[in-house]
A and B are shown apart, each in its own frame.
Chain A
């Protein structure tokens, strides 16, 4: 099925552990994004990618690492998880096409709890 999927949907990890959140899209969209949404707040951009092997920092990149070796995948890694990284993480993608004048598609989110 076409779409954007995140895995896992739920994750509990301990402080100091490394954890990777996966994002996969089937459209071959150029741009992909990672956001975090804390309870009752909006989305803050962590990292984004314009194409394979091109990534850039967003508003809150500290403590996170991304890679994009293939167009369809954009994993987000927390190198050493902290309690402040407890949040819901959303991945999104946009087809470049007519630059930026298209909608973004979001995954269903990964709820991460760091204990």
Chain B
């Protein structure tokens, strides 16, 4: 089974609101990465958090990691219609695997 599982499966918000997506995983990891996928395209890397880090920021993105709970969250602040995409967490231990993703829709 896949290592990372995102929650919720789908999220619909209004422009300007914050979007929070969660990821849970099963085994120990070296790092956790979040990726974005626009429809029909390959995944694009957003942010990486190492196993010894608890929080990381990049622009409007904030990622947290709780290794004791084996979970991570991605917060997108002040969302825009252009943020509409699928978001995946990737976990790397001995290989890089992904969950089912969260489909985010930001309504103008």
Q: Which of A11-19, A43-51, A61-69, A79-87 contacts B (4 or more CB under 8 A)?
A: A43-51
* One of B40, B45, B98 near A43 (C-beta < 8 A): B98
Q: Contact check, A33 vs B43: say whether CB atoms are below 8 A apart.
A: no
Q: Contact check, B98 vs A33: say whether CB atoms are below 8 A apart.
A: no
Is A94 engaged at the interface, CB distance under 8 Å to the other chain? yes
* One of A42, A45, A58, A109 near B88 (C-beta < 8 A): A42
Knowing A33-B96, A43-B98, say if A99 contacts B30 (CB, 8 Å). yes
* One of B1, B41, B96, B100 near A104 (C-beta < 8 A): B96
Knowing A59-B2, A107-B42, say if A100 contacts B98 (CB, 8 Å). no
Q: Which chain A residues numbered 18 to 50 have a C-beta less than 8 Å away from chain B?
A: 31, 33, 35, 41-45, 48
Which 7 pairs across A and B sit closest by C-beta, in order of nearness? A106-B42, A103-B45, A42-B100, A100-B30, A100-B92, A43-B98, A106-B43
Q: A58-B97, A106-B44 are in contact. List 8 more A-B contacts (CB 8 A).
A: A42-B101, A45-B95, A92-B42, A94-B96, A100-B30, A105-B45, A108-B42, A109-B40
- What is the interface of chain B, defined by CB distance below 8 A to chain A? 1-2, 6, 30-31, 33, 35, 40-45, 48, 50, 88, 90, 92-93, 95-101
